[in-house]
Amino acid sequence: MTKEGRLESKVALVTGAGSGIGKETAVRFSAEGAHVVCADLIGDTAVTTATEIGDGAFGIEMDVTNTPSIKAGLDVLIERFGGLDCVINNAGVTIVGAAHEMEEDDWDRELDTNLKSVYLVSKAAWPHLVTRGGGSIASTASIAGIWAIPADAAYCASKAGVIMLTKCMALDGAKAGIRVNCVCPGFIETPMIQGYFADQPDPEASREYATSIHPLGRLGQPRDIADAFVYLSSAESSWVTGTPLVVDGGLVSGIWAG
């Protein structure tokens, strides 16, 4: 079947593509005509996503906190598709805890996975985007990068860092035609958020509360964020860079009385 879409013939790397937002983004990119390399720390899940997509998709194992692993994945991508146009930095973890309670190893893991990985993957991809004459980098930040959440210090700090790193890279990439943006989701129905709820003293009450504070009356779906990534990676956003695009059902707009 011939695909015609907003990302026709583009080559995209999507990290964290084994589940949730990353998986849905890979599916949406393929539907819009892109060749997609699905990367995940758990390689089998990346391969599963690529297999479900079919032609034009390829799954690889990639540790986004490890430069040799990133380089090896990009080498495979370039060999298979000849270039790179779009990067989606989506891999991430959440470890619940206040700053004074967290173990140092947990802090480091969260900052490395959520923030340092954006730097490492973007740095490794940068020369390939320059070779193409420009391209797009878009990352998963969070409303937690703008709006503090109790007992979630490392996650909030890492996502705030993604927002500022996005702005800095946007300035540094402008002359090379590299646009850099991020998406700030609200609470999205993914394995990560399910794990977050499970870590709370009353998981069901936590879910109900999270749903109630979104003015549009529901938790987000991975498709809501994937569509934002399609926009930020397409020609429709050709004059958009350095932007944290909030997609949150109205959550951070103000106090919601319900």
For 140, phi and psi rounded to 5 degrees?
A: -85, 110
**CA pair distance 31, 39, nearest whole angstrom:** 18
To the query of whether residue 196 is one of the catalytic residues in this protein, the response is no
Q: Measure Cα distances from 203 to 150, 186, 195, 200, 225 in Å.
A: 15, 18, 9, 5, 24
Catalytic residue among 119, 155, 209, 231: 155
Check the CA dihedral 215-217-219-225 and report its sign: negative
**CA pair distance 121, 88, nearest whole angstrom:** 9
CB 35 within 8 A of CB 12: yes
Residue written as token pair 């949406």:
28
- Roughly what angle, to the nearest 10 degrees, separates helices 153-173 and 104-111? 30
Give the chain's radius of gyration (CA, Å). Answer: 18
Residues labelled as active-site residues: 155
